[in-house]
Structure 1
Amino acid sequence: MGMLKSSVAFLVLAFAFFFCYVMSSGSYDYFQFVQQWPPTNCRVRNKPCSKPRPLQNFTIHGLWPSNYSNPTTPSKCTGSRFKKENVYPQLRSKMKISWPDVESGNDTRFWESEWNKHGTCSEDTLNQVQYFQRSHAMWRSHNVTEILRNASIVPHPTQTWSYSDIVSPIKTATKRTPLLRCKYDKKTQLLHEVVFCYEYNALKQIDCNRTAAAGCKNPQAISFQ
């Protein structure tokens, strides 16, 4: 009986060490490239955004190394901290368009937060400069706002769409299945994020249908305002 308890204790301890290793070292399966709709951000947050009228185009939220078993991990890994000088002037100008802080207006702090929380976990694949360059290139490769507009899906105060209504034109344009995430304002399900998935090296886009990350509630109607 004593040996059994010792074995169980050893296994629990070993799992704990393994979990800590995964969290700190940045073991991951794929990337989530997350774009957000600024008006939804500003509508559901507790205090007003810095700009009276939010941007009317999808902007980058982040590039997140993720695991299929738990897409919220890894995060805050042991890697180099954000260095402002790595965002050189030309890259900075691009990112102020593709990756602005739509809530408080402090772009540099937003980039720092995303790198320290997510970028550090894939630093063996993408260093800081590459991480931001690749994210901007992903944003440019498929203009989600334009894709939806071409499918007559544009912000509207009362019209709603189904999950498949929104996914279908994006899938047609990218040849890959995206993931949609929503936020709630009372009982209204608002489109918040469009997620593209990329393989381990962040070069090839893949379907997002293996991820267990929570998305919009389907088949509940989705509002895009």
Structure 2
Amino acid sequence: MNTFIPRFLLLTLSLASLSSLVFSAETTPDYFFIIFQWPKSKCESKEGCCLPKKGKPVLNDFIISEFKGVYAQEGSVPENCTTTTKFQPSKIADLVPNLGRYWPSLTCPRRDSKKLWKEEWVRYGSCAESVLDQHDYFAAALRAQKQINLLKLLGDAGIIPNGKYYPGEAINEAVRKAGLGDVAVTCREDENGLNTILDQVFLCATREGNKYTCPGAFWICDSRNGNKVKFLKP
């Protein structure tokens, strides 16, 4: 198994950021990381989850955790870029129903998901403003979520949320067959303190929200369990 993690993926997994003096809203990303989260993993963790004050998030499908631009030449994922554009909920009013379902805030204490969307726009959307305005940024993330359809993609390969363990290599093979390149998977601890519960899946998309072949290498969260991860029931 190839366990090499490319530089840009290491930066992403560690949530590295670069100075806004280097990156501004005029910087153009090459593609985007779309990070999916399995809600049950968060809700059963020590951190726990709280449903938002408004909206009805899906808890039996992957939700969007982050959507952030990748700048291949610099090998970076910048954050909090210089911009004069403030987050305006009215700009994404038509997207709110689907954002509430597929990009909700599950943090505790309970809050309105609009606070999450504001944070995501300021942190990552601001760094893609040269190609995506506020509406287009969130619309692209929703389009990528729908087009990739990660739950179905895995299900077609026999990988379903039933509380069983699945080899990381099987997850990666399913992703590769879908033309999405190699996958990176992060996990949470199980009852034995091992990081083997599937939590987040890193895939790639274009700025239009279309599928994009990730140029990184396969990486699984934990090798202590034979590179297997538990896919919790919703």
What TM-score bracket applies, with the shorter chain setting the length? 0.7 to 0.9
What's 2:40 paired with?
39
In the TM superposition, 1:1-225 aligns within 5 A as: 21-24=21-24, 27=27, 28-50=29-51, 55-67=59-71, 71=76, 73-79=77-83, 80-88=85-93, 90-103=94-107, 104=110, 106-157=112-163, 159-185=164-190, 186-198=193-205, 203=210, 205-209=212-216, 215-218=220-223, 219-225=226-232
What is the CA distance between 1:37 and its match in structure 2? 0.5
Contact 2:144 2:211 in 1 (8 A): no
Gaps of 5+ in 2: 1-17
Task: Write the letter of the residue equivalent to 2:32.
Answer: F
Per-residue CA deviation, residues 105-139 of structure 1 (Å, 9 max, x unaligned), is 52211111111111101111111010011111111
Contact 2:39 2:63 in 1 (8 A): yes
Task: Write the letter of the residue equivalent to 1:197.
Answer: C
Gaps of 5+ in 1: 1-17
Moved >6 Å (runs of 4+): none
CA RMSD, Structure 1 to Structure 2 (Å): 2.9
Distance 1:54 1:200 in 2: 24
Per-residue CA deviation, residues 146-200 of structure 1 (Å, 9 max, x unaligned), is 222222222233x211111112122212453332222224214111112222357
Structure 1 residues 48 and 150, CA, compared in 2 at 3 Å: closer, same or farther? same
TM-score (norm 2): 0.73
Task: Write the letter of the residue equivalent to 2:145.
Answer: W
Task: Write the letter of the residue equivalent to 2:65.
Answer: H
Structure 1 residues 26 and 182, CA, compared in 2 at 3 Å: closer, same or farther? farther
Distance 2:158 2:87 in 1: 40
- The DSSP-based 3-state class of the residue aligned with 1:57 is coil
What's 2:15 paired with?
none
Larger relative helix fraction: 1
Distance 1:67 1:203 in 2: 17
Task: Write the letter of the residue equivalent to 1:22.
Answer: V
- The DSSP-based 3-state class of the residue aligned with 2:142 is helix
Q: What is the aligned length?
A: 202
Contact 1:39 1:54 in 2 (8 A): no
Task: Write the letter of the residue equivalent to 1:205.
Answer: Y
